[in-house]
Amino acid sequence: MSLSVRSILPALALVACAAGLTLYWQWPAAPLPPPDASPVLETPVVVVPAPLSAQSAAAERQGPTPRPLVPAMADTEVDGQLHTDNRGNLLLGLGVRDYFDYFLSSADQLGLEPAVAALLADAGGRLQEPALGQLVGLLGDYLDYKRASLALLQQPLSAQQQTEPQVQLATLRQAFDSLAQLRRAHFSAGAVEALFGAEEAYARYTLDNLALLAREDLSEPAKAMAQVRLREQLPEILRASEERQQQALARQAESERLWRAGASEEEVRQSLAMTYDPPTVERLLAEQRRERAWQQRYGAYREELAGLQGQGLSAADRERERQRLRRRLFDAEDQHRVDTYDAIAAKQQEGASPTP
């Protein structure tokens, strides 16, 4: 069974996001040194185990919450959380990673050093020692990890890795394993669990699920039962989220089936009302209207592109006409999506072309 574009793209996105491909800046050659005011700690960062009950049992202390120091983020709230235990040690969790990423996301506009400087200045208003020094040390490890993960994911893929389903899956699994090893090379076991544990659990589930869907020796009912067993292995919070996602996907598939069958909007509304409250139903209907309209525009765009092929235009003239079509049919915010769809269409055409 081949892995469809619909099934493989979420896994690719998952691995890519885990690697930090959303960071478009160049990492410096060496980690940024901590500020002079931060002492070098001999003890490692104190890590609280993943269960929330253990964290809530600790006496948490959080400092004041100053406004962001990055001008582009002046109208936003700082993402993430910084908490300490009753001894003033930093408590690790996903909130710390979100806090790092909030400031580092501005590095493509400001440069890495100003983004890190803003992070350190903000953290200085929230934490005291020893937590502040522990955060600075962790930040150095995090920057090293981001640099290494970006280099890892920049390795080119072969044609076989891009086109053959089984090789695609093996490549995804290898990328996940490489990232997992990279994290353990830069962080302690406790830090890996606190910062990346939930993400790794869901990535393993996604890869195992893709492998299950690709099996040709199982019937559809057997695959469905195996998928249930996979979901049961997820942590409780992730399992509940995945079940909601599966319900949403099933309802979306049903809506698409109804639209294809020529159902009226009222029939689709009644179908959605079996799962969602009225405001959510109306929001989903509005989203589906916009998506159907976009798909119709893209279909018209591809048809007009195909019509250009037989007009004897030069390559330069065809490109000008293509850009004119794009400007006429799509807004500026749609252009990146059109690029993605065009790339997928080009790959499909390459795969359909007979080999000489």
Pick the closest to residue 208 from 188, 190, 223, 193 (CA basis).
223
Question: How far apart are alpha carbons 111 and 91 in whole angstroms?
Answer: 28
What percent of the chain lies above the pLDDT cut of 70? 75
Query: What tokens appear for 242 in the block?
Result: 């995945």
Element of type H or E holding 84: strand 83-84
Calculate the alpha carbon distances from 254 to 76, 268, 349 in Å: 37, 9, 29
Instruction: Parse the chain into domains and list their residue ranges.
Output: 1-195, 220-310+320-326
pTM value is 0.56
Distance CA(179)–CA(195), nearest Å, equals: 13
Angle at 137 between CA 189 and CA 16, to 5 degrees: 60
| Cβ pair 251, 275 in contact under 8 A | yes
Q: Return the number of other C-beta atoms located less than 10 Å from residue 141's C-beta.
A: 18
- pLDDT tens string 36-63: 333 232 333 333 333 333 333 333 444 4
* pLDDT tens digits for range 299-323: 999 998 888 877 778 888 888 888 9
Q: What is the mean pLDDT of the chain?
A: 77
Q: Among 81-95, 161-175, 180-194, 251-265, which is the least confidently predicted range?
A: 161-175
Average pLDDT over every residue of 256-272: 91
Locus of tokens 């619909």: 6
Helix (H, G, I), strand (E, B) or coil at 300: helix
Whether 115 and 104 have beta carbons less than 8 Å apart is answered as yes
Q: What's the start-to-end Cα distance of the chain, in Å?
A: 26
